[in-house]
Chains A and B, each alone.
Chain A
Amino acid sequence: MSLLDWLFDGLLGLTMLWLGIRVVSGAELLNTIMSFIGLGILMALAWMRLGAPDVALAEAALGGGVTGALLLAAFNRLKDAPSVQTEQDDKD
């Protein structure tokens, strides 16, 4: 493996780790959803690098595409629904 490969894979892994942390610890819901979609697409790239094109295709289409769209649709509905946040604030 050449230096460039190492560099690319290292950068890919670190970016995925960073996105993963953003997904679980982000405060803004829309931001976390965007991070999740980005993570899905990078994950597809990682599967490709590991030599698994089948998994990469499925991950890109399902993880990056459909799940992202589902989460965004759910987010849109949450916006209209009575806020969950205020309920928690009341308890505190």
Chain B
Amino acid sequence: MIKTDPLRFIAILLALLTIVAFGHMLAWSLWTLPPEAAGLSLIVNEKMPESGVDAQVTAILLNFRSYDTLLELVVLLVALLGAWYLGKLHLPPQDSKPGLVLEGLVRFLVPVMILVTGYILWLGSHAAGGAFQAGALLAGAGVLMLVVIAEKVAVRDGVRLRALLVAGPGVFALVAGGLMLSGKLMLQYPQQHAGSLILLIEAASTLTIGITLTLLFAGGRPHRGKTD
């Protein structure tokens, strides 16, 4: 026999009541939603010709709401700095040497992934794709290398690495500042150059995102090196 604790019984009853009430609210709000809401898509569609790109998502991320994206890139940088302050880079020792097949596969896959990264970055101007997806793919290639052939990829802290880490937000901020100096609003791209400016920012951001995510996976600050 299970002892019936009155407090426990009340707690379960309350939880059930909450679930039922919340479920009803959810169902009701879903029911009353208009079947097809236009939202902001009308405004976006109207302004698309001015954006410099053909993909709506890229237009919003890199043009209409580019300030948010700039801050997102800074958030990524701050996250990495946080990880760096926690300690030095210490890759776990590998249990065994990777087999010929695994190492061969990685050596074959990484260049292909880098190629696809460039393709997805380019795709961002007119279809689904863009800097974040391409950067994540680049990070995937980096993580693969760190997992399988870590001893052959020497990650060294230095000017080159740091330049790559700030390339995305740096180029973004330079574009923003340059536009302000030329008498426009911050990040108000001139219409005829909007496409190339967006591609420039996205290319730099892709490198930064890819390398930042890879280093977040590695964890910790790499040792200083002379080579890089």
Contact = CB atoms under 8 A, between A and B. Distances in A.
A54 B128 contact: yes
Contacts of B137: 61
B216 interface: yes
Given A66-B139, A66-B140, 12 more contacts: A53-B128, A54-B57, A57-B128, A61-B137, A62-B136, A65-B139, A65-B143, A69-B143, A70-B217, A76-B92, A77-B92, A80-B92
B216 A70 contact: yes
A73 interface: yes
Q: Which 6 pairs from chain A and chain B are nearest by CB? A: A61-B136, A53-B128, A54-B57, A57-B133, A54-B128, A69-B143
A58 interface: yes
Contacts of B130: 54
Contacts of A70: 216-217
Nearest to A73: B217
14 contacts: A53-B127, A53-B128, A54-B130, A56-B128, A57-B128, A58-B136, A61-B136, A61-B137, A61-B139, A65-B139, A66-B213, A66-B217, A73-B217, A77-B92
B136 A65 contact: yes
Nearest to B123: A57
B118 interface: no
Nearest to B216: A70
Contacts of A57: 120, 128-129, 133
Contacts, number: 44
A40 to B, nearest CB: 12
A61 B140 contact: yes
Interface residues of B, number: 19
Interface of A: 53-54, 56-58, 61-62, 65-66, 69-70, 73, 76-77, 80
Contacts of B128: 53-54, 56-57
A74 B139 CA distance: 17
Contacts of B216: 70
A61 B133 contact: yes
Given A65-B140, A66-B143, A69-B143, A58 B132 contact: yes
A8 to B, nearest CB: 21
A80 B136 CA distance: 28
The CB with the most chain B CB atoms within 10 A, among A56, A62, A69, A80, is that of A69
A8 B137 CA distance: 28
A77 B216 CA distance: 14
A88 to B, nearest CB: 22
Contacts of B136: 58, 61-62, 65-66
Interface in B126-159: 127-130, 132-133, 136-137, 139-140, 143, 147
A56 to B, nearest CB: 8
Nearest to A63: B136
Nearest to B210: A66
B192 to A, nearest CB: 26
A70 to B, nearest CB: 6
